[in-house]
Amino acid sequence: MILIKKKTQGEIPSTPITSIDFFSLLPPSFPQVLRTDIVMDVGDSLNPAIDIGQVEGAFTQGLGLYTLEELRYSPEGVLLTRGPSTYKIPGFQDIPREFNVSLLRGAPNPRAVFSSKAVGEPPLLLATSVFYAIKQAVASARAEQGFDPVFRLDSPATAERIRMACQDSLTQKVEPVVLDNERPWSVTV
């Protein structure tokens, strides 16, 4: 996925670029990101080691946000997934096996301190490329089974959501049912 903000008059371009390679064993395994390459525009970096660490951390945080971290609430609105036993955050096995981050050179920001640029949100949002790669893989799996490749997949793309989105003879037998007089034990927002 390539995200480029085009330069317009009075603006300084920000150019984060990422490439994702992953494999997926559907079902039952969760997709594993094999390789991620990110080129990040931070202007003239004040400390490249810190900036690269920030990019890696933000991307990993985004990976969790878009693929793992599912918030569940009780019908009364109490957050149920509020601790390590009920809330999945990225671990070492979720980080791309090969994780390459480099900083774009020759793109200073003349209006900032020492010609630097911010590092925060762009790499976090680059993790959406993993979500959409998963969605594309599920669309292919659905097409192979003769199902419509156009479907809804909500974020985060958890293993459960991926499995149910794939659609096959097994998932056709499972239908979530909540009777009119019953309340679900949890609600996903």
Quickly tell me which residue has 């990101």 as its tokens.
33
* Active-site position among 121, 144, 175, 182: 121
Average pLDDT over residues 116-134: 84
Residues forming beta bridges with residue 17, ordered by sequence position: 2, 39
What is the model's pTM?
Answer: 0.79
Phi, psi (5° rounding) for residue 130? -70, -45
In order of 66, 87, 102, 143, the CA distances from 76 in angstroms are 25, 19, 46, 39
Decide if 74 contacts 183 (C-beta within 8 A): no
Decide if 142 contacts 80 (C-beta within 8 A): no
Q: What is the pLDDT of residues 35-72, one digit of tens each?
A: 888 988 888 888 899 999 999 999 999 999 999 988 98
Distance of alpha carbon 96 from its chain centroid, rounded? 12
In order of 39, 102, 119, the CA distances from 109 in angstroms are 17, 18, 13
Active-site residue flag, 11: no
Local confidence band at 110 (pLDDT 50, 70, 90 cut-offs):
confident
pLDDT of residue 12: 44
